[in-house]
Amino acid sequence: MTGHLTRPSGGLLPRLAQFRAQPPGMRGAFARAVFDYLDPEGSVERLLGRLVPAANDEEVRDAVREGVSDPEISRVLGLQPQTPGLLSAREMVFIHALVLLARPAVVVETGVAHGSSSVAILSALRKIGSGRLYSIDLPMVEREGTIESPEGACDVGREETTLVAAYDRVGWLIPEALRDRWELHLGDSLRVLPDLLSRLDQVDLFLHDSLHRYAHMRGEFEIVWPRLSDGGILLADDIFVFHHAAIADFARSAGVRFRTYFGMGVMQKPGRRKTGDGRGEKGT
Ligand SMILES: C[S@@+](CC[C@H](N)C(=O)[O-])C[C@H]1O[C@@H](n2cnc3c(N)ncnc32)[C@H](O)[C@@H]1O
């Protein structure tokens, strides 16, 4: 059914080798990711069911199918592997399905680059006919160093700039037809977020995919968490890449558990919230 999700990508053995590099607080989560490789479809369906308990099994399966057959997602995936840095099929399908089921009014993401995560979110927002995506990325720069932006100076390293420097604009993958629900803010996310969030009532879904260093991830989580709606969801991509425990430490301090889907971390604010169609949902 969801053939995209079963494509081999990276394999199990390299992942097991990375296990030893994880700090103790992350090893359990890393080990559980093995089950995602064994059963990608079951994993995504179980996770979506936990995050959106008001959705029944059939609705969850339909939402996943929607992502697999979404023309915009297929277009983006067709650019792999010659476009490095795109989200994987399973990540795009997961995010797309989550938006379809949770129906967030306000989505905020940090780290746009080509815009594959933005496409997954915006395509789902168009389907539900509501909601808005606020994205933050650095202004395009051609070399590492200190850049000046309206929000102030920001140090960027090579790995943070190469993705966008090769293309003509941040979010170049996002088609015109999806841009009416999109607002792009350029600058260091730790500087832009407080001001942006002060203008928004609340955040229903947050995706971290900017700088994956400990202090930066933790900093974004600290800013966003108090502004997440009850039952709101925080996603963080690449939580295992830099071998630190930012998400585990933050989850402990916030008193919640974090779940994972492959390399993505997921935290949900406790409480109930109303979805766009008025369904009450219970946070875990
Ligand atoms: C992994 S890419 C994002 C990929 C994107 N989510 C996608 O699906 O195509 C990381 C992005 O984070 C941005 N970034 C790095 N440091 C940042 C910072 N301090 N504030 C905002 N964005 C940052 C980089 O410019 C880069 O475009």
Ligand 1 centroid distance, CA of 109 (Å): 9
Ligand 1 centroid distance, CA of 223 (Å): 17
pLDDT at 142 exceeding the cut of 50: yes
What is the tens place of the pLDDT at every residue in 241-276? Answer: 889 999 999 999 999 999 999 999 999 999 876 555
Residue in 163, 206, 216 to alter for ligand 1 test, most ligand atoms within 8 A of Cβ: 163
> Is 260 in contact with 239 (CB distance < 8 Å)?
yes
Ligand 1 centroid distance, CA of 241 (Å): 14
Assess whether the C-beta atom of 189 lies below 6 angstroms from ligand 1: yes
pTM of this prediction? Answer: 0.89
Closest atom of ligand 1 relative to the 113 alpha carbon? 27
Assess whether the C-beta atom of 111 lies below 6 angstroms from ligand 1: yes
Mean pLDDT of 55-80: 97
Assess whether the C-beta atom of 114 lies below 6 angstroms from ligand 1: yes
pLDDT at 16 exceeding the cut of 90: no
- Residue whose Cα lies nearest atom 14 of ligand 1: it is 210
What is the tens place of the pLDDT at every residue in 111-129? Answer: 998 899 999 999 999 999 9
Listing DSSP states for the chain in one string gives --GGGGS--S-HHHHHHHHTTS-HHHHHHHHHHHHHHH-HHHHHHHHHHHH-TTS-HHHHHHHHHHHHT-HHHHHHHTTTTTSTTPPPHHHHHHHHHHHHHH--SEEEEE--TT-HHHHHHHHHHHHHT--EEEEEEPPP-SSSEEEEETTEEEEE-HHHHHHHHTSSSTTTTS-GGGGGGEEEEES-HHHHHHHHHHHSS-EEEEEE-S--SHHHHHHHHHHHGGGEEEEEEEEES-TTTT---HHHHHHHHHT---EEETTEEEEE-SSEEE-TTS-EEE--
pLDDT at 41 exceeding the cut of 90: yes
The pLDDT value given to residue 124: 98
Cα first-last separation, the chain: 28
β-strands 264-268, 203-208: how paired? unpaired
The pLDDT value given to residue 239: 94
- Residue whose Cα lies nearest atom 16 of ligand 1: it is 211
pLDDT at 70 exceeding the cut of 60: yes
Q: Which residue has the higher pLDDT, 152 or 257?
A: 257
Ranges of each domain in the chain:
13-271
The pLDDT value given to residue 20: 85
d(CA 10, CA 33): 13
Q: How far is CA 165 from CA 30, 138, 169, 235, in A?
A: 32, 11, 8, 25
Spell out the CATH class of 13-271.
alpha beta
The pLDDT value given to residue 141: 59
Q: Which residue has the tokens 């792999």?
A: 80
Weakest mean pLDDT among 8-17, 31-40, 109-118, 121-130: 8-17
The pLDDT value given to residue 33: 81
Average per-residue pLDDT for the chain: 86
Kindly indicate the confidence band of residue 19, based on its pLDDT and cuts at 50, 70 and 90: confident
